[in-house]
Amino acid sequence: MSRVTFLAAALALAPLGPQPAAADPGLEIVYCHDVERDLVQRVRARNCAGRVLSPGQARDTFARIEAQREARKQRVLGRAEARKQTGLTFQGAGAAFAVNHRGMLLTSAHVVRGCDALDARNNDESRAYRARVVARDEARDLALLRINRATKDIIAFSAEPTTDGAPLALIGYPTEGMIRRIPRLTPVLASHAISHPATGGLLGIAGDVRRGNSGGPALDSKGRVVGVLKAKVNSVAAKRVTGKTLTHLGVIVDRAVVLDFLNKTRTPFAAVGTSAPEKSGRALFELGRSAVYRIDCMVKKPSDPERRADR
């Protein structure tokens, strides 16, 4: 019996009539809906951080959640069958983000390298959109994709350089045993000691950088793009440069290089100056959630051992 089925059965057995009031209202057992995770649990009223539901509302919410899970399962099975029929197999995933409302997505060149087909998935939609590469710069590890739809939500670029030590946020799909369906925000710090934008166009970052973040945006505290995540840095090599043992390091392609690429490809984009307001961590995540896409790479030939499922 699945967890959802078990909980639904428990609801069916739960009394719907009026119950004796507890001496302490906070000790009353209620149905609590965690809206952010879309999860309903029976907890004490004082421990409910979401919305308290009536038994009928809870039963309806459970039914909706189970229906959505079943629909997602069928979509996954359908995509797997479609890929099988076309001879495509999933090879890996990375991130991309919308730079304008014309369906243009920016990512890293290595995310799309060697792919026979690309799917772009936005977190607010259930379907995937076939993406095609319209421009690529292997030397600077940047690629521009187009999907056949308007991109409602975009992320603007910073109009100024990033200062050393500035707090940044990566938005992507870091590998955590499996490829994520929903992106994650990873806080990092800009570090000129690791890599300075003036020398090579790369900006160093210190933080929990993982495979799967590649191609995703690095945002400053105002929600502006300051670069595109390129790679995790070898900590041994970094020690020779900085003289310090640092285990979580990475580099992003700096905004100046990215904007030069977009200008050369005549790609419209938005830039925001210092007047932009500071954003909370939640606001940064919501910004990324709506404008960041997971890019799935499919290949026709057998998997190459040298390729990784997280790019």
CATH tag for 89-303 (out of 2.40.10.120, 3.40.50.2000, 2.102.10.10, 3.40.50.20):
2.40.10.120
Domain residues of the chain, as ranges? 3-84, 89-303
10-residue stretch averages of pLDDT, the chain, 311 residues long: 47 48 73 86 88 92 86 67 68 93 96 94 78 96 95 92 93 77 88 88 89 90 95 63 64 95 96 85 88 92 54 65
Query: Which pLDDT does position 7 carry in this prediction?
Result: 45
pTM summary value: 0.68
What integer pLDDT is reported at residue 87 of this predicted model? 76
- Note the pLDDT of residue 249: 84
3-class secondary-structure state, position 125: coil
